[in-house]
């Protein structure tokens, strides 16, 4: 249960806390932490076209923000959706993670762009702020405070 400590921490946060993540563990947070997530694979089944269009757009926006080398893009994403935390796998900023991420591979060409940027050595803005803005690190998960990212300077 690598999400246990994270769930406990998040359950102590305000009820309207919103978590953004492409990590598989995000799917467990609504049940175990009783907190909302922006999007999760388990909630992204295309039952209705308008519902899925919204989920798809959120996911594309999340991937773009998480892997953008531009801090302003991450900050705009946080403001647009009201995100409070990013939940990250430790290897989230490696080309292998992106290339092998089954769910992200469904969102092309966004994921391909993120992979290309990583392969070219472009460091995502979020990656540069993980240490400074880390709220919690557990066995296999990192929770990053979006408020800290929002107040970071370019």
In CATH, 4-151 is 3.40.50: yes
pLDDT at res. 48: 58
Domain boundaries, the chain: 4-151
Helix (H) or strand (E) holding 46: none
Q: Please give the torsion angle defined by the CA atoms of residues 17, 11, 91 and 83, in that order, rounded to the nearest 10 degrees.
A: 0
What is the per-residue pLDDT across 91-130, written as a single tens digit (0 to 9) for each? 999 999 999 999 899 999 999 999 999 999 999 999 999 9
């Amino acid at each position: 249960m690598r999400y246990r400590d994270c769930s406990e921490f998040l359950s102590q946060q305000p009820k309207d806390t919103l978590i953004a993540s492409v990590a598989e563990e995000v799917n467990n947070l609504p049940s175990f932490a009783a907190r909302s997530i922006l999007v999760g694979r388990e909630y992204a089944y295309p039952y209705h076209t308008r519902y899925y269009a919204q989920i798809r757009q959120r996911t594309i926006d999340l991937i773009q923000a998480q892997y953008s080398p531009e801090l302003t893009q991450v900050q705009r994403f946080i403001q647009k959706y009201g995100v409070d935390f990013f939940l990250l796998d430790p290897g989230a900023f490696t080309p292998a993670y992106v290339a092998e991420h089954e769910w992200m591979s469904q969102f092309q060409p966004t994921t391909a762009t993120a992979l290309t940027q990583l392969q070219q050595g472009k460091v995502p803005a979020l990656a540069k702020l993980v240490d400074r803005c880390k709220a919690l690190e557990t066995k296999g998960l990192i929770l990053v405070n979006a408020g800290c990212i929002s107040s970071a300077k370019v």
